[in-house]
Structure 1
Amino acid sequence: MEKQTPSFISWEKLREIDLVGFLASIGYEPAKIKGLNYWYRSPLRSEKTPSFKVNARLNRWHDFGPGKGGSIIDFCLEYYQRDFQGIVQLLSGQTSLPKKEFPEIPDETPLILVTGEKPITSPALLGYLKARGIPIRIAEEHLKEINFSLNGKSLFALGFKNDLGGYEIRNQFFKGSSTPKAVSSISTGHNRLSVFEGFFDLLSYLTLRPEIKWPETDYLVLNSLSLLERSLPLILDYQAVSLYLDNDQAGLKATGYLLGKSRIIQVGSVYYKGSQDLNEFLVSRRPKLRVSRKVRLS
């Protein structure tokens, strides 16, 4: 007697299907693996640089190009453009659908070209970190000293890598970023997330954490508030989220936007009320490290 496939599979069971394994079954292998994060060239569009991430612990995906993400069900709805019934048939093995193919796109030539990276040794950069109140041991865990060219001129700075391989670039006199522009996510295996605007705020949090008794969490550095909306699926995948955004008009607007999206959002900027951002708060607690406001704390 032929075995019958159940006509109904619960939503919860469908969501438990391993997404990494499913992608492999339709012909997609990760371009790189960083801890629990599997990076792919997006199955949903044509691209050169991998920007489609699957978190194996959460079993969730996020495509940083269009800013979409979710469960395996959300992926199949996007990928196959079928209705829910068709997706149930697919995931229950009643139907099979082929891998889609997208044409490759050419590389873009960035204005800022990173030409090399190494551990931080420059006295100027070490002094800049000290002025910003960041211990070298914490900086070394997240930053590199990079060489880059800007319109043909060779320069060096601190570099903070994002999820797509681009850099946020800072020194005492320069603030910029290389392409591709993206957020920087750091997974430490927690179900709680801390969100920052810039990497100096993340480093300030890590510096202050033992003193203020902040918890260990996963971390998301937006690198630009313009990337906030497309990061929403990633943010809302956590059980609790704390925001450490700037106390300026843009930061307060972004905080209000996220508070309206979910009850899991908590406002961490109350800790540094009266300071523009978390790094300014850190520096203010260490008077001997204060630097001229001519160099913007960002």
Structure 2
Amino acid sequence: MTIDEIKSVSIVQFLETEGYQYAYIHRGNYWYLSPFRAESSPSFNVSPTKNLWNDFGASSGGNIINLVQKMHPSWNNHQVLTYLEQQIKSHNLQYAEDYEAMTKEQQRRNVWNQNHIAGNMKESNNITFIDRICKLSHPNLKSYISQRRVDFEVAQDFCKEIHYHINDKHYYAIAFENIDGGMEIRNKYSKRSIGKKTISIIRTNGESHSECCIFEGLFDMLTYASLKKWKMDIQLYVECECDYIVLNSISNIKTALPYLQNYNVIHCYLDNDAAGAATIKKIKDEYLDKVIDESIRYRNFKDLNDVINGIVKE
């Protein structure tokens, strides 16, 4: 095999054969716990379209050859290439484009249907069957997002559109993925979850950042991202780029706490109520010097989305 042929082999598929499973997928990029060190928050990223990897924790990256070189630093170039040729042949590894196309439909159907339905997803003792997941575009969902005063293109960046049925009744809604492959489901009439309910983590611009913003719910995060896009001078957002962590429920704060240890600054955009204050206290108890309570920016409102909707807190 030529060097170019080896470089074209899918890094995602190669890592799978090496025993490394991705933690989550965001904007088409695969995020892993680094294969080079122990860590609790994924910092190793693979772009299947570019077929390149980046280890943000060590500021390194490259192609599949560079990856094996770093995994086996004592090997010379001949040993690295020989090993890759053997793995490619024995596991029938495919080129990145072919592998990405082949797995796309599998990820949409198998992951959502087989895993979650096999895990007995139920609502009112009825199994939820996912029919399809696609780009957010339904006019009624667009109207609902507009009613919440959120930028629709921002919503498209972070959310999908889901069509599902329970028994013989069909539904559609906004779908927002969490770190365990579950989804928060929203439309004008319904607020529910499919699969395991846990936190969501978003690496804005596909990169990890040294600071993060924590939100209680999806629409608070979408509001924040919309304000950033609009560049509105109302002093509600921080200037630097941050990762977004959405709790999806205040009860998920214990799950979120370990993920916060890698951030230098933690901006808390939680509700101005007793539950929000108690949650901020829990975060400060763990990371006192890092935590900034940003709810002071909207002290007269319950949450961020209420600000742009003009709903003043009683």
| Corresponding residue for residue 153 of structure 1 | 169
Q: 4+ residue stretches of structure 1 with deviation over 6 A?
A: none
CA shift, 1:134, in A, is: 0.8
CA shift, 1:31, in A, is: 4.3
Residues 282 and 165 of structure 1, relative CA distance in 2, 3 Å threshold: same
| Corresponding residue for residue 258 of structure 1 | 283
SS in 2 for 1:149: strand
Structure (1/2) with the larger helix percentage: 2
Q: How many residues align?
A: 209
Residues 162 and 239 of structure 1, relative CA distance in 2, 3 Å threshold: same
Conserved 8 A contact 2:298-2:307: yes
Kindly provide the CA deviation profile for residues 107-130 of structure 1, in whole angstroms up to 9, marking residues without a partner as x.
Answer: 411014432111222221111111
Structure-1 separation of matches of 2:286 and 2:267: 13
Q: Quick check: 1:220 aligned with 2:245?
A: yes
Conserved 8 A contact 2:22-2:30: no
Q: Aligned to 2:119, which of 103, 108, 120?
A: 108
TM-score, with structure 1 as normaliser: 0.63
Kindly provide the CA deviation profile for residues 29-68 of structure 1, in whole angstroms up to 9, marking residues without a partner as x.
Answer: 224664472169xxxxxxxxxxx86323247xxxxxxxxx
Paired AA for residue 130 in structure 2:
V
Q: Aligned to 1:28, which of 19, 29, 42?
A: 19
Structure-2 separation of matches of 1:203 and 1:159: 13
| Corresponding residue for residue 243 of structure 1 | 268
Structure-2 separation of matches of 1:144 and 1:36: 17
Conserved 8 A contact 2:43-2:208: no
Conserved 8 A contact 1:32-1:38: yes
Q: Quick check: 1:198 aligned with 2:217?
A: yes
Query: Greater relative contact order: 1 or 2 (C-alpha under 8 angstroms, separation 6 or more)?
Result: 1
Unaligned runs of 5+ in 1: 1-23, 41-51, 60-105, 288-298
| Corresponding residue for residue 144 of structure 2 | 128
Percent of counterpart pairs with the same letter? 28
SS in 2 for 1:164: coil
- Report matched runs for 1:1-298 at 5 Å: 28-31=19-22, 34=25, 35=29, 37-38=31-32, 54-56=42-44, 57-58=56-57, 107-111=118-122, 112-150=128-166, 152-187=168-203, 188-209=207-228, 210-211=231-232, 212=235, 214-215=238-239, 216-262=241-287, 263-284=289-310
SS in 1 for 2:42: strand
Paired AA for residue 136 in structure 1:
F
Residues 170 and 39 of structure 1, relative CA distance in 2, 3 Å threshold: farther
CA shift, 1:237, in A, is: 1.5
Conserved 8 A contact 1:169-1:175: yes
Paired AA for residue 30 in structure 1:
Q
Paired AA for residue 304 in structure 2:
L
Unaligned runs of 5+ in 2: 1-14, 35-39, 45-55, 59-116, 123-127
TM-score, with structure 2 as normaliser: 0.60
Residues 113 and 227 of structure 1, relative CA distance in 2, 3 Å threshold: farther
Kindly provide the CA deviation profile for residues 179-203 of structure 1, in whole angstroms up to 9, marking residues without a partner as x.
Answer: 0222111123210011111111111
Structure-1 separation of matches of 2:250 and 2:131: 27
CA shift, 1:281, in A, is: 1.1
